[in-house]
Structure 1
Amino acid sequence: MNRKRVGIVIFDDVEVLDFCGPYEVFSVTRINSEKRREEPSPFEVILVAEQDQPIVTTGGMRVLPDTTYATCPPLDILLVPGGWGTRKEMHNPALLHFVNAQAAQVETLTSVCTGALVLGNAGLLDGLRATTHWRSLDWMQELFPNVTVDSVSQVVEQGYVLTSAGISAGIDMAFMVVKKYWGEDVARATARHMEYPYPESTVRRVPLAAKE
């Protein structure tokens, strides 16, 4: 099995489900669901942070990274989550340098929620269609006039770049990545194992008309 290495960036005030949701999807994926206990996931998932020390998420969870920007091994897939911490991290030169360097090498570049703002500030969304949390759509369009901000889709795929709406949308995005690499049957079996509804479309589950 040619396992794919997924690097998930974490930082202080990252939204928990933004990274834990996709982490769960990738870690429980199996090519043969009948051998769930005998075979590993076809994805190797690692958490990447700027420093080799615990980060504190939104809500106070403390998380240990597996590696740092400087020591990160080669990745096939990079995921940038969102959360309140992106307000600071989208201007962090170390993170922007890491993301740009990885974007030039990975097969798939993804974001969840306001992680798209990091990709936008790195110049990686110019000329593309992209989305983010519904509360940040207008802000995203103001910040990045060369990006076509999609307010309708839960997940937007543009070439090798996938952006997703807020928080739980990262799970839907991760299923799309599973499908891309291992096929729809494997993606559906993964959703079934998680007792999560497989996303039958990319339409946003929470339409803007319902926003507060």
Structure 2
Amino acid sequence: MKPDTTTPLTFGMLLFDEVEVLDLGGPFEVFSTAGRLARTEDGRPLLRVLTVAATGRPVRARGGLRIVADHTLDEDPPFDVLVVPGGVTTAVETDPEVLDWLSRRRKSSALTFSICTGAFLLAAVGALDGRPATTHWEDQEELARRWPDVRLRTDVRWVDDGDLVTSAGISAGIDASLYIVGRIFGEGLARRTARQMDYAWTAEGGAQDGGSGRP
């Protein structure tokens, strides 16, 4: 499939207190860098990233980094790809406002991508029921115990199941982000992005259970 270079693709990333900094920052860097390198035919970034949080107050990430999201859940901005980073997700798993938003935006997004324990939030809204998925090695046993309907993959760093991509932690999230860029826009852009980031991309290590091309 020839990549679509006429329409920008927007990635919407969920922020929450105790989000893992690199689970958020790694994919953000990949997608925003790819957007700097690739332009639409009328000169716009081919990829753009926006962030969404429950409220307009600063989110406190793990380690104390404070981040202000671009939008709130109430603003509900349009985007094409839902990105759910990991971190300490306990409080978010019981927040009905966030879960309702996730459930709705998961269904309306062309592609959903989780990093690390972001898979727990997708599992909490039933998005992983009967689907192959993975998470950080340290959390795989808990994911399997709490959501036995998930077809847990413990042997790969990310899983592509068509409209759903899940990855393990931090570096696997960056590698999976580059994989997504390559899947949608071609491996050439993924490799240019990794080189621009001076990042040694581990392109192997994932499992493709279904789907390819632009979402």
TM-score of the aligned structures, taking structure 1 as reference length = 0.89
Deviation per residue, 1:40-96 (Å, 9 max, x gap): 531111110000110100000010000011112211000111112x11112211111
RMSD of aligned residue pairs (Cα, Å): 1.7
Q: Matches of 2:68 and 2:36 in 1, distance apart?
A: 28
Count the aligned residue pairs. 199
1:173 Cα offset (Å): 1.5
Residue 60 (structure 2) pairs with residue 26 (structure 1)? no
Secondary structure of the residue aligned to 1:29 is helix
Q: Matches of 2:129 and 2:148 in 1, distance apart?
A: 8
Identical-pair percentage:
37
Paired residues of 1:78 and 1:109 also in contact (CA < 8 A) = yes
Query: What residue is the counterpart of 1:99 in the other structure?
Result: 102
Stretches of structure 1 that go unaligned for 5 or more consecutive residues are: 205-212
Query: What residue is the counterpart of 2:87 in the other structure?
Result: 83
Stretches of structure 2 that go unaligned for 5 or more consecutive residues are: 1-5, 208-215
Match 1:198 to one of 198, 201, 212: 201
Query: What residue is the counterpart of 2:182 in the other structure?
Result: 179
Paired residues of 2:37 and 2:193 also in contact (CA < 8 A) = no
Deviation per residue, 1:119-139 (Å, 9 max, x gap): 001000001110111110000
Q: Matches of 1:75 and 1:92 in 2, distance apart?
A: 22
Query: What residue is the counterpart of 1:210 in the other structure?
Result: none
Return structure 1 stretches of 4+ with deviation > 2 angstroms: 30-33
Residue 192 (structure 2) pairs with residue 189 (structure 1)? yes
Query: What residue is the counterpart of 1:159 in the other structure?
Result: 162
Residue 46 (structure 2) pairs with residue 42 (structure 1)? yes
TM-score of the aligned structures, taking structure 2 as reference length = 0.88
